[in-house]
Amino acid sequence: MISLNPSSLKKKISFTLALSCFGLALSFNPLSANHALADEAANYPNKTIRFVVPYPPGGPLDAAARQLGERVQESLGQSVVVENKAGAGGNIGLSTVAQAKADGYTLGMGAVATMAINPWLYRSMPFDPAKDFAPVILLSNVPNVLILNKDFATEHKITDVKTLVDYLAKHGAEINYSSGGNGSAGHLAGELFKKRTGVDMLHIPYQGASPAKLALLANQTQLMFDNLASSLPQIQSDEVVALAVTTKERSSFLADLPTLEESGIDNFDIGTWFGVVSPAGTPTPIIDKLNKAYAEGMQDERVQTQMRNMGSDLAPSSAQDFSSYAQSELEKYKEIVQSADIKLD
């Protein structure tokens, strides 16, 4: 029979545990982890990058992503392949990004709809925009523009935002404004306008901005908050009356047109912005490298031409600034959507 001295056994167990803990300490050495992250970032990218556009091919965001991707792959030395995954207002495609490995090889086009508006329109979301993404760079912000049917504006002598508000204060219940659908940027701009001014109007949603504008041109609706690029031809040809843009800054495309804030409507800032996002947890050095590559890509003349065709003023930012901006937009649209009691499901 083997006899073990209790004191000796205790020492052996303690020694074994000490060795195990030492091994674990080596395994989880933070210095080793930091070196691994540094090596990963230094070697990034070493394979193809997938860029998810959560909208159908052929649209303006798709074209911008492809044009910019060509320039970015020249900078990074690896292919950037655009993949379109449309559906549920962009939620399906962006959920693919949220669920991807946080290694910088799956990126996506995050826009105001998916990152700030949809979370308040849908009862169930496949991702949390505040927690599931690492913002890379804000690329652009396209203003909406407040336009009126020309005959309506002429008949009632409406020449600026003040005269419009004065008219709506007396006759708002008789006035229709059109939008591209419930929960669209034009709808939310209209609801915010009503809230900020205290006037009344009836919202008429259409299946897209094009039929909404046709209704405006036919005087079936009297006003609309439309995407600037879409309305620019009618504004320049004097088919509609433009009163103001909805962003805080004037648009370079209509430099003489004031903002709504300049026109006396406090705290009014609605634009269609978009930028690049990565899954949450993507290492900061990789985010920084991507931010630099996309910022350089935005300087390309071909990219700038594509952006201008969208009526867009370029707005490249740091990753931190984009993160702060996206969070503030999420809170802003929460107030607008909940105040107007808008739901899509």
* Averaged pLDDT of the chain: 90
Strands 49-53 and 106-111: parallel
The answer on pLDDT for 51 being more than 90 is: yes
Looking at residues 78-85, what average pLDDT do you find?
97
Report phi then psi at 323, rounded to 5.
Answer: -60, -45
Residue among 245, 242, 262, 277 at smallest CA distance from 112: 277
Q: What is the DSSP letter of 96?
A: H
The answer on pLDDT for 299 being more than 70 is: yes
Instruction: Enter the pTM of the model.
Output: 0.85
What domains can be seen in the chain, in order of their start residue? 49-142+271-340 (3.40.190.150), 143-254 (3.40.190.10)
Are 203 and 191 contacting, i.e. CB atoms less than 8 angstroms apart? Answer: yes
Residue among 308, 300, 271, 314 at smallest CA distance from 137: 314
Of 45-54, 216-225, 308-317, the one with minimum mean pLDDT is 308-317
Residue among 221, 200, 201 at smallest CA distance from 149: 221
Are 174 and 201 contacting, i.e. CB atoms less than 8 angstroms apart? Answer: no
Residue 250: predicted pLDDT: 94
The answer on pLDDT for 265 being more than 70 is: yes
